[in-house]
Structure 1
Amino acid sequence: MQQWEKLLNEKKLSIEEQQRLWDFLSHYITPRRKTLFQEKIAHRTYHITVVVEDIYQERNASAVVRSAECFGVQSVHIIENHNEYKIAKGIAKGADKWVDLHIYDQKEQNNTEVCLQSLKAQGYRLVATTPHQDDCYIHELDLRYPTAFIMGGEKDGLTPTAMEMADAYVKIPIYGFTESFNLSVATAIILYESTRRLHQSDIKWQLSEELRLRKLIEWTLKSVSDANKLLARFFEEQASNAN
């Protein structure tokens, strides 16, 4: 975690304070980048998230992150029970800079269980992406609830823990002889279909104003060369004005 991230977490800024910070920081990026950030933030969502379990090919893991970022899905959860997550720069194309990556890598614990319990506590409905007797097609899935799509590893698919903890099961229509899609392709199809339906619905899938400001601030701090100094300067000025 960067120094500026720790400081932001410690300060627990109100919406008004975050607005002032965003106004301050936006002077240090180009007008074009500021406009770009504002355009992209309007399509970001936490209503959908992606969980990937024990991916061993770094190109697949990176492609999942890239797809999530492209479709405006703000968070990705990486479970490392056996395989370590590594970013393939040529595949990710910098997508990991703009999304929230949560990596579960503690040794000697069931990281799948820890991750999924955390998501359930946050109100997510856990949807295993695998054929199952109680499954439905992706275009039939009820998206009214915050949804975490769980993707299994390339060789063995989802673990028994993931299957048991899932609240629902979803599959993609297949019309050829091959039984399944590549992991990264399957993720892209699922995210395309689910975000497409969300955008056409009356579901409140967009970020709250507070979360929008938080992401704008984080993106800006990731884009400037002296993020720690800029943030320190802002808080010094705020303290001075208060006196």
Structure 2
Amino acid sequence: MQPADEPQLEVGVGPWVGEWPDDERLDPELLEHGDRRNVVDRYRYWRLEAIVADLDTRRHGFHVAIENWQHDLNIGSIVRTANALTASAVHIIGKRRWNRRGAMVTDRYQRIEHHETTDAFSAWARRAGLTIVAVDNTAGSVPVDAAPLPERCVLLFGQEGPGLTDAAMAVADAHVQIRQFGSTRSINAAAAAAIVMHEWVRVHAATPDHAELP
């Protein structure tokens, strides 16, 4: 917590100065009062629906799937990273309710789907023509940087601690792991997801355009 005599940094921008632009993407309330949301400058003053619609035109070819049998606190953080890297969608397998705190409201901008069971998830992935890539440091898995991830795939992550269930491993088409050199068996699930998602981006994605709002 900052001392009272230190300046408090404000996020975003204040009210629009001058004549309002004629742009249906913009939210009159944000123009009037300012936009303090945690969004990139490109989306300042944009309506939520307009941001989602624009993201839908630029989403990448990878999906993210997370098992949710124990109400894992990491799911929100994984959703936040998926949004930052423009995943096609995040798929929750198991319990429909998940802890959204770590998402920091990015779940409003990210497409999120639910599957009751691993079999239901697998059936969806087959219909969509996606390769299921299990991420866990189990026997037979290969380093994620040793060969390019498929361009159209779904990255499948398990719970913090136990990792992926046997059922999830059984439906996977490929198994990858993150190279580790320390004493611990595994790294934090949200950190692991960020590493693997970024590996897909490193191989397949172009440099993002952070142009200012015209």
What is the TM-score with the length of structure 1 in the denominator?
A: 0.61
Which residue pairs with 1:96 in the alignment? 107
Equivalent of 1:74 in 85, 88, 92: 88
Shift of the 163–32 alpha-carbon distance from structure 1 to 2, 3 Å rule, reads closer
Question: Equivalent residue of 2:190, what SS?
Answer: helix
Shift of 1:157: 1.9
C-alpha contact 1:61 1:85 (8 A) present in aligned 2: no
The residue type equivalent to 2:78 in the other structure is: V
Q: 1 CA distance for matches of 2:59 and 2:45?
A: 17
The residue type equivalent to 1:104 in the other structure is: H
The residue type equivalent to 1:194 in the other structure is: W
Which residue pairs with 1:51 in the alignment? 65
C-alpha contact 1:56 1:85 (8 A) present in aligned 2: no
The residue type equivalent to 2:25 in the other structure is: S
Question: Equivalent residue of 2:90, what SS?
Answer: strand
User: In angstroms, what is the RMSD of aligned CA positions?
Assistant: 3.0
Which residue pairs with 2:198 in the alignment? 192
Unaligned runs of 5+ in 2: 1-21, 32-42, 209-214
Q: 1 CA distance for matches of 2:114 and 2:150?
A: 26
Residue 140 of structure 2 corresponds to residue 134 of structure 1: yes
The residue type equivalent to 1:148 in the other structure is: V
Q: 2 CA distance for matches of 1:27 and 1:34?
A: 4
Q: 1 CA distance for matches of 2:170 and 2:72?
A: 27
Residue 129 of structure 2 corresponds to residue 123 of structure 1: yes
Shift of the 34–161 alpha-carbon distance from structure 1 to 2, 3 Å rule, reads same
Structure that is richer in helix per residue: 1
Cα displacement string for residues 169-222 of structure 1 (whole angstroms, at most 9, x for unaligned residues): 000010111111111111111111211221259xxxx9xxxxxxxxxxxxxxxx
Shift of the 86–194 alpha-carbon distance from structure 1 to 2, 3 Å rule, reads same
Name the count of aligned residue pairs.
Answer: 171
Residue 60 of structure 2 corresponds to residue 62 of structure 1: no
Equivalent of 1:177 in 179, 183, 189: 183
Q: 1 CA distance for matches of 2:183 and 2:126?
A: 36
Residue 138 of structure 2 corresponds to residue 154 of structure 1: no
Unaligned runs of 5+ in 1: 1-22, 106-110, 207-243
Which residue pairs with 2:149 in the alignment? 143
Shift of 1:165: 1.3
Q: 2 CA distance for matches of 1:84 and 1:101?
A: 11
Q: Pairwise mapping of residues 16-27 of structure 1 onto structure 2 (< 5 A)? A: 25-26=24-25
Which structure's relative contact order is higher, taking Cα pairs within 8 Å and 6+ residues apart? Answer: 1
Question: Equivalent residue of 1:190, what SS?
Answer: helix
Question: Equivalent residue of 1:26, what SS?
Answer: coil
Cα displacement string for residues 9-41 of structure 1 (whole angstroms, at most 9, x for unaligned residues): xxxxxxxxxxxxxx9842656684349949856
Q: 2 CA distance for matches of 1:55 and 1:198?
A: 31
Shift of the 49–176 alpha-carbon distance from structure 1 to 2, 3 Å rule, reads same
What is the TM-score with the length of structure 2 in the denominator?
A: 0.68
The residue type equivalent to 2:105 in the other structure is: G
Shift of the 154–144 alpha-carbon distance from structure 1 to 2, 3 Å rule, reads closer
Shift of 1:78: 0.3
**% same residue:** 24
Question: Equivalent residue of 1:140, what SS?
Answer: coil
C-alpha contact 1:134 1:168 (8 A) present in aligned 2: no
C-alpha contact 1:55 1:61 (8 A) present in aligned 2: no
